[in-house]
Structures are given as C-alpha cells and as structure tokens.
Amino acid sequence: MAIIRCEILGSLEKRSSSILLNAVCGFHYFTFPSKVGSTLPYAWVGNSGKQCPQVCAYPFAVPGYMGGGGPGSLKPPNGDVGIDGMISVIGHELAELASNPLVNAWYAASDPIAPTEIGDLCEGLYGSGGGGGYIGNVMKDGSGQTFNMHGVNGRKFLVQWIWSPVLKACAGPNALD
C-alpha cells in the first residue's frame, strides 16, 4: 500500500527562486529516493492573490492582454480573489497528483513527449457550455458572487472542471445541472 502525502500551501515560496514561483500557479512532482529515502508525490500551490493573480486567480482577476474583451472579472464566491483562486488551483493539482503521481502515467494523446494532464486539458472551464475562452454556465447568488459548487455551512466555490477519460470530455460540478 502506497502512502501519498500532499504538501499544499507550504513554505516553498520563501525558499525558492522567484523566477520559478512567478511562472506557475501550482505544480506536482515527487521526491527521489536517492535524496530523501523514498518516492513521495507532492503538490505545491502558490498564493493566487500575490502571484500572477490575472492568471492564477482567473476568472476573478482578468489578464491585461484581454484589454476589456472577454468575460470581465467575476465576483469570487467567498469574497477573496486570492483564496478563491487558490481553491481551484488546489483542485487542479490534486486531480493531477492522484491520476499521475510520478508524472509518467497519463497523457492526453499518443505522444508522451508533450503530455497534457487532466487539469490542463480543461484549463479555464468552469461550467457546461464553456470553451474557447468562455468559462461556461455558472451560478450567481443574490450578491453577484459566482460559483459552481456548494460546500459545508452554505459555502460556495468556483472550481475548474477536470478531464474525464470515461466521458472523453471535461466534467465537474455545476450548480446549474
């Protein structure tokens, strides 16, 4: 039986080069037995509010290159652009960590040179009818906060959809369905 430990929201931000951490919203990888004694898959997610919010907290922050085009910023379901953005990135990385813990198990096409994982295939898709830059149909509550999933104690979340090899399509929570 394998034990998988996830380090999420770790202090890697303080120890790593700013070049790496400003280039990604999150990633998953694994440790090498020769360095730490065993193979241990892990995930890291950065602070979406401080690190490239227009990418890591999309659609709550819109990239400058959209220049007024596209959907515009959506109101985050919990009122915090950074945390609400991180929640979606955490879901993305956990799905990829579970389906491809050693970064060699799953590819979207027959070419393993350019692997695309289950979260990457559905990047920016949050509801049915989405694609091509449109996030899809999502709910809005009375205060205009957008969501596609209900949580405990009335909490709401907007999480990215994930590729389903069974459906051969992106799938996920949708408060409209």
**What would the pLDDT profile of 101-159 be if each residue is shown by its tens digit?**
998 887 776 666 665 899 998 999 999 998 887 899 999 999 999 999 999 999 999 99
| Residue 63 CA: distances (Å) to CA of 48, 143, 149, 164 | 13, 24, 24, 28
- DSSP code at position 103: S
Q: Domain for residue 150, yes or no? A: yes
Instruction: Determine how β-strand 26-30 pairs with β-strand 41-45.
Output: antiparallel
What is the domain range of residue 157? 12-107+115-171
Residue 14 has pLDDT above 50, yes or no: no
Tell me whether residue 2 is in a domain.
Answer: no
Question: Helix H segments across the chain?
Answer: 12-15, 18-21, 33-36, 53-56, 81-99
The whole-angstrom distance between residue 119's C-alpha and the CA centroid of its chain comes to 7
135: in domain: yes
Q: CA-to-CA distance for 61 and 144, rounded, in angstroms?
A: 15
Whether 80 maps to a domain, the answer reads yes
Helix runs in 4-114, H state only: 12-15, 18-21, 33-36, 53-56, 81-99
Residue 105 is predicted with a pLDDT of 80
Per cent of the chain over pLDDT 70 is 76
Asked if the structure places residue 7 within a domain, the reply is no
Nearest alpha-carbon partner for 126 in 167, 81, 88, 97? 88
Q: How many domains does the chain have?
A: 1
- Taking the complete model, does pTM exceed 0.85, yes or no? no
**Mean pLDDT for the chain overall:** 81
Q: Is 58 a member of any domain? A: yes
